[in-house]
């Protein structure tokens, strides 16, 4: 048994949280997979990026990305997702640079 902040004894974990006025959620369960995966796959599909290319650019293993897309992985570490997002952003700049080099896109000077 614990003592609540108002001096009343709280008998359970739930009562201790309620006594402090804190709502505590232990986890969130996705129905299928984390929605960020869908966003990553959409960007990859639109830009024509393969898992191998993304693995090389992000520094994550091909196996990790494969498990995200086709395996049973439902959630990824924030740091891993951040590496993929940064890699996709770099890839976006590479595509812009290629289009500029081919004359298909003009950039406004000083803006990138």
**Structural domains of the chain in order of their starting residue, each with its CATH number:** 1-30 (no CATH), 35-101 (1.10.260.40)
The whole-model pTM stands at 0.58
User: Within the chain, how many helices (H) and strands (E) appear?
Assistant: 5, 2
Residue 21 is given by DSSP the state T
- Residues 30-79: tens digit of each pLDDT: 678 888 888 889 888 888 899 999 999 999 999 999 999 999 888 889 89
Phi, psi of 3, rounded to the nearest 5 degrees: -110, 125
Cα distance from N-terminal residue to C-terminal residue, the chain: 60
Residue 107 is given by DSSP the state P
């Amino acid at each position: 048994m614990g003592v609540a902040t108002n001096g009343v004894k709280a008998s359970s974990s739930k009562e201790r949280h309620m006594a402090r006025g804190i709502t505590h959620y232990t986890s969130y369960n996705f129905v299928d997979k984390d929605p960020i995966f869908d966003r990553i796959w959409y960007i990859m599909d639109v830009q024509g990026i393969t898992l191998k290319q993304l693995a090389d650019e992000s520094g994550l293993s091909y196996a990790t990305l494969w498990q995200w897309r086709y395996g049973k992985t439902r959630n990824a570490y924030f740091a891993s997702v951040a590496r993929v997002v940064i890699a996709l952003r770099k890839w976006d700049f590479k595509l812009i640079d290629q289009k500029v080099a081919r004359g298909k896109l003009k950039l406004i000077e000083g803006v990138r």
